[in-house]
Amino acid sequence: MMMSTTGRIAGAAALLALIGGAATAQEVGKASAVNPAATANLRTITIGASISHKERIKTAAEGSVQLLFIDKTSMTIGPNSDLTIDEYVYNPNAGTGKLAATLGKGALRFVGGQISHSGDAEIKTADAVIGIRGGVALISTANVYAGYGSSTVTSRGGSVTLGAGEFTALSGGGAPPSPPGPPPEGFVARMIQSFQSAGGQSGGAPKGTASPANVARAESRATGRNGGAVAGSLTPTPVVTHVAPLLAGSTTTTSLAQTIQTSTQSGVVQNVAKDMRPSITLTGWIGGIDRVEFDYGTMPFVGNGIATVKLDGTAGRMQADFLFFEEGHLQFGSIDPAMPADSVYQDYNNFTATSPRGKTSNGVPYVGTVTTVSTSQARAFATSVGTPNLTICECEYTKWGIWEVHTPDNYVGSPERLTGSWVAGRSPGINDVPTTGRATYTGHVIANVQDVTLFRQVVGDQRLVAGNFSNTVDFGNRTGSVSVSNLDRTNYTGVIALQSDPRNFVGALRGDVGDRSMGLLGSFFRGPKNPVGEMGGTVVIGGTNYLGSGVFAARTR
């Protein structure tokens, strides 16, 4: 069997560098693109205009400006923004210097040049100082996102360092930045959209520059032929999935196809995709049912365990590893560059993978798929199974989905099929768990359930069900009150207890149908502004002639 019967449970901003030789400290850069209503020291900025040391740049509701500095750093300043260049010195011979600016309001996109590679690029806001090293960052007065490289965010209350794809929120009032984590859903896309030209704007280029004739000539120069597109399609190679019996329309590889007319535009699109694909490792839980066909009939076995999901934003690939409590291991996809990807990582909300060729678990070969489930897919499924009011967890950082594996058609042993669900998030630190106060988490449970005979043989088809989940946690007492409603027409209530590692909890619930009961094992996960703002876990359901297993996901109200 893929799961053995032997049970076991696994459970500072950067310092200023010395600058030698002649340094440039007058003109610091040029305005490389300008939309209306952008001014510098009350003069209207035009494309190609000089930008000087101590310049103050303001944009109105429909204004934006892109600055290109001498060291190749660029800053795109969004609408309704106020930025002052406090200091800029650069020694091109040594490749060293310092850039310091203050963002009074609004937002900017920073793409580091030579200076940021030595760690001397700094953006200040009213609440924090952001030191940027060798990277790309989206910065507003309320939050910071590191798209590439690293950024150190320091406030009066503390400091955090962001790696590629990580986000922090600034609360003000002396509070520390929120713990690093993936950005809220849609955050990067909204920020980048705010920097784009609106209809009728041209980035300051003369009227007619982008006429059809000029575009055609540019295409011909770039590609050697008329109508040639430099970058072609960005559509990822889809992974073939076999999860349709579980959730209709569960494919996640939606098209990103678009024609790119210039190499500059191609770079922008590729950067957008990279910013929305953080490289991060998530940990969590799995649950499901293994159906094994014997000569005397088909028997189900509950399968629960630990999930590790590794996302590689640079390569656009993922790897999921499932370790069962019953001693079995499943792998989907690979982040090893020497191996086939067997996966597509489109963005933080959409990724899918298949099992690598020739994989075995406890000596049994298997093929299968793991995929995320979107909120819209979950809503459609909930309606189809009679739970249209399902409180689906629209978690920011925590992700969940479904998986399926089966023995190959040519396997000579007992055929088996495992179907289940998974949930994974970003773990907080032990000291991040509060010791006082209360919080209520709401979300959903999704589980595979199976009717069985007195002798534990399957009756009818396995089915996927969903129900509402609520957990009110008393951090002072280290307990929680849990309810699960309308899960396969059954309601469950009970309590959970935080463990010696307070990031984890266990509990037992009693159902109101027959002798049904539910055991759960879960963890707190990070939220965008709360280190324990989300949670997830695995459940086991039992009762007379009935069993099931799945996962839950929830967040604070």
Predicted confidence (pLDDT) at residue 205 exceeds the cutoff of 80:
no
User: Does any domain span residue 386?
Assistant: yes
Q: Can you read off the two tokens belonging to residue 278?
A: 């953080």
User: Does any domain span residue 268?
Assistant: no
Q: How many domains does the chain have?
A: 2
Q: What distance in Å separates the CA atoms of residue 477 and residue 435, rounded to the nearest whole number?
A: 8
The rounded percent of the chain whose pLDDT value lies above 70 is 75
Predicted confidence (pLDDT) at residue 359 exceeds the cutoff of 50:
yes
Predicted confidence (pLDDT) at residue 17 exceeds the cutoff of 70:
no
Confidence of residue 496 (pLDDT cuts 50, 70, 90): very high
Q: Are residues 306 and 432 in the same domain?
A: yes
Q: Are residues 152 and 284 in the same domain?
A: no
Predicted confidence (pLDDT) at residue 246 exceeds the cutoff of 70:
no
**Among the listed ranges 147-161, 484-498, 531-545, which one has the minimum average pLDDT value?**
147-161
User: Does any domain span residue 10?
Assistant: no
How many Å from the N-terminal Cα to the C-terminal Cα in the chain? Answer: 42
Which pLDDT score is estimated for 493?
A: 98
413 or 271, which is more confident = 413
Which pLDDT score is estimated for 213?
A: 59
Out of 194, 219, 244, a domain closes at 194
Q: For residue 104, give the CATH number of its domain.
A: 2.60.120.1440
Average pLDDT rounded to a whole number, residues 71-76 = 80
Average pLDDT rounded to a whole number, residues 58-62 = 76
Confidence of residue 405 (pLDDT cuts 50, 70, 90): very high
Q: Are residues 316 and 184 in the same domain?
A: no
Confidence of residue 324 (pLDDT cuts 50, 70, 90): very high
Out of 194, 223, 252, a domain closes at 194
The count of other CB atoms within 10 Å of the CB of residue 249 is 10
Instruction: Judge contact between 166 and 281, C-beta under 8 A.
Output: no
Predicted confidence (pLDDT) at residue 59 exceeds the cutoff of 60:
yes
Out of 194, 228, 243, a domain closes at 194
Which pLDDT score is estimated for 470?
A: 98
DSSP single-letter state for residue 268: H
Which pLDDT score is estimated for 27?
A: 53
User: Does any domain span residue 321?
Assistant: yes
**Among the listed ranges 126-135, 206-215, 418-427, which one has the minimum average pLDDT value?**
206-215
> Looking at the DSSP assignment, which residues form a beta bridge with residue 33?
66
Q: For residue 500, give the CATH number of its domain.
A: 2.40.160.90
* Tokens 């159902």 belong to residue: 511
Nearest Cα residue to 283 out of 501, 30, 32, 545 = 501
Confidence of residue 77 (pLDDT cuts 50, 70, 90): confident
User: Does any domain span residue 236?
Assistant: no
205 or 357, which is more confident = 357
Predicted confidence (pLDDT) at residue 273 exceeds the cutoff of 70:
no
Q: Can you read off the two tokens belonging to residue 300?
A: 């189900």
Q: What distance in Å separates the CA atoms of residue 300 and residue 290, rounded to the nearest whole number?
A: 5
Q: Are residues 524 and 405 in the same domain?
A: yes
Nearest Cα residue to 215 out of 207, 203, 205, 227 = 227
Q: Are residues 172 and 289 in the same domain?
A: no
CB proximity list for 134: less than 8 A, separation 6 or greater: 112, 116, 117, 119, 148, 149, 150
Q: Residue type for 530, please?
A: N
Q: How many residues does the chain have?
A: 557
Which pLDDT score is estimated for 119?
A: 66
Confidence of residue 280 (pLDDT cuts 50, 70, 90): very high
DSSP single-letter state for residue 6: S
Q: What distance in Å separates the CA atoms of residue 125 and residue 161, rounded to the nearest whole number?
A: 16
Which pLDDT score is estimated for 193?
A: 79
Nearest Cα residue to 322 out of 284, 364, 279 = 284
Which pLDDT score is estimated for 54?
A: 64
Which pLDDT score is estimated for 214?
A: 53
Q: Quote the domain boundaries for residue 97.
A: 27-194
Instruction: Judge contact between 68 and 29, C-beta under 8 A.
Output: yes
> Looking at the DSSP assignment, which residues form a beta bridge with residue 138?
109, 145
Which pLDDT score is estimated for 197?
A: 55
Q: Are residues 400 and 512 in the same domain?
A: yes
Q: What distance in Å separates the CA atoms of residue 86 and residue 72, rounded to the nearest whole number?
A: 18
Predicted confidence (pLDDT) at residue 370 exceeds the cutoff of 60:
yes
Which pLDDT score is estimated for 84?
A: 85
Instruction: Judge contact between 484 and 449, C-beta under 8 A.
Output: no
In the chain, count H helices and then E strands. 5, 34
Instruction: Judge contact between 381 and 401, C-beta under 8 A.
Output: no
Which pLDDT score is estimated for 136?
A: 84
Of 142-151, 210-219, 482-491, highest mean pLDDT:
482-491
Q: Which CA distances in Å does 40 have to 48, 129, 227? A: 13, 23, 39
158: left (phi over 0), alpha (psi -120 to 50) or beta: left
Q: What distance in Å separates the CA atoms of residue 220 and residue 215, rounded to the nearest whole number?
A: 9
Work out whether the CA dihedral 471, 350, 196, 86 comes out positive or negative. positive
**Residue 23: strand, helix, or coil:** coil
Q: Are residues 73 and 171 in the same domain?
A: yes
State the greatest distance between any 2 C-alpha atoms of the chain, in Å, as a whole number: 88
Q: What distance in Å separates the CA atoms of residue 60 and residue 551, rounded to the nearest whole number?
A: 48
DSSP single-letter state for residue 430: G
Average pLDDT rounded to a whole number, residues 506-521 = 95
Query: Tens digit of pLDDT for each residue in 534-553?
Result: 999 999 999 999 999 999 99
CB proximity list for 549: less than 8 A, separation 6 or greater: 287, 288, 289, 302, 303, 304, 420, 447, 448, 538, 539, 540, 541
Instruction: Judge contact between 542 and 459, C-beta under 8 A.
Output: no
Predicted confidence (pLDDT) at residue 243 exceeds the cutoff of 50:
no
Q: Share the mean pLDDT of the chain.
A: 78
Which pLDDT score is estimated for 51?
A: 56
User: Does any domain span residue 19?
Assistant: no
Which pLDDT score is estimated for 80?
A: 87
